[in-house]
Amino acid sequence: MAIAVQFATRPLYLQVRDALADRIVRGEWQPGAMLPNEVELSRQLQVSQGTVRKALGELEMDQLVTRRQGRGTFVNDLSRTEALRRFGHLRGPDNRPVGAEVSHHHMRAEAASEVERARLGLDLPCRVLRIRRIRSAGQRPFMLEDIVMPAARFPGLERQSDPPGRLSRLAQQFGLLLGGAEEKITIAKADHDAADALAVPPGTALLRLDRLVYLLDGRPIQWRVAHCHLMDRHYFVRTGGAGRKRKHEGASLSRMP
């Protein structure tokens, strides 16, 4: 039976993308599940196969699905994708990704500051959820995270005794469609707050990661600032294929004046 979907004046393939993404977020298709083929989806949504094909291409660009030639289109495990993206850049001396565990977690709901309203595009009056985490490896703290999210998007989250730690899980729980992110990487000296959290002397060189995450419609949903004490680790990025690598070594940071 065809599913009645009313499409507006936006490009049709984007509306089909949003309709399919919404079904993924609502759990209709679980991670690893195969989506119906293009013929079936075009029948359900009453659009052409070409429109469905273009919409699936957009979903793949958004990393919601993976298309495998001759096999079908499969839903990605968003939580695993986010975890790899989040910590996969941090490598140890053996160039393996650094394992991380949360050694401290605190969340509270408060009125948004002027800076927070500007970064998240919020209007007055508004409240935000402020989350602080300390991540450790081998019982040694190495990352301090300060996260801010609009409270209205996550009603009741601050009252949950064990809320999901990953944004992808929160997005699924609250029916949000994650889009992209922008991250600015700089070097900063540890202030007294960061020094105390990471058990380092004030003034220690830290990697500062300033990340803004957007919903699929372009609205900011999370502002995260992390300070990382690299020690013998490095920040590893690969671009342009297997033959091109960029590595930011922790040793070079210690020479910051």
107 and 146 share one domain? yes
Q: pTM of this prediction?
A: 0.68
pLDDT at position 10, please?
A: 79
DSSP characters over 152-188: GGSTTGGG-SS--SSHHHHHHHTT--EEEEEEEEEEE
Same domain, 38 and 130: no
Let me know if residue 105 belongs to a domain: yes
- 6 found inside a domain: no
The rounded mean pLDDT for the chain is 81
| Domain termination site, one of 53, 76, 99 | 76
Within this chain, do residues 23 and 84 fall inside the same structural domain, yes or no? no
Question: Do 185 and 129 share a structural domain?
Answer: yes
Identify the CA nearest to 135 among candidates 168, 166, 171, 177: 166
Q: 30 and 122: one domain?
A: no
The verdict on 119 and 236 lying in the same domain is yes
Helix H or strand E encompassing 18: helix 12-25
For 83-118, how does the pLDDT look when each residue is reduced to its tens digit (9 = 90+)? 445 445 666 666 666 666 777 788 999 999 999 999
Q: Tens digit of pLDDT per residue, the chain (257 long)?
A: 455 455 556 799 999 998 998 888 777 888 889 999 999 999 999 999 999 999 999 998 877 889 998 899 999 876 555 544 544 566 666 666 666 677 778 899 999 999 999 999 998 889 999 999 998 887 889 999 999 999 999 999 988 877 777 888 888 888 887 877 888 999 999 999 999 999 999 999 999 999 999 887 788 999 999 999 987 666 666 544 333 333 333 333 333 33
How high is the pLDDT of residue 3? 56
Q: pLDDT value at position 248? A: 38
pLDDT at 256: 35
Model pLDDT, residue 95: 64
Residues 61 and 106 in one domain: no
pLDDT of residue 91: 66
The per-residue pLDDT for 131 is: 93
Look at the block and give the residue holding tokens 């419609």.
217
Buried b (16+ CB within 10 A) or exposed e, 171-209: bbeeebbbbebeeeeeeeebeeebbebbebeeebbbbbb
- Do 132 and 34 share a domain, yes or no? no
Strand order in the sheet with 234-238: 90-91, 234-238, 245-249
Q: Can you tell me the distance from the alpha carbon of 164 to that of 243, in angstroms, rounded to the nearest whole number?
A: 37
Residue 114 maps to a domain? yes
Q: Is residue 4 part of a domain?
A: no
Residue 123 maps to a domain: yes
In which domain, by residue range, is 61 found?
12-76
> Residue 242's domain is classified under what CATH number?
3.40.1410.10
Number of domains in the chain: 2
189 and 236 in a single domain? The answer is yes
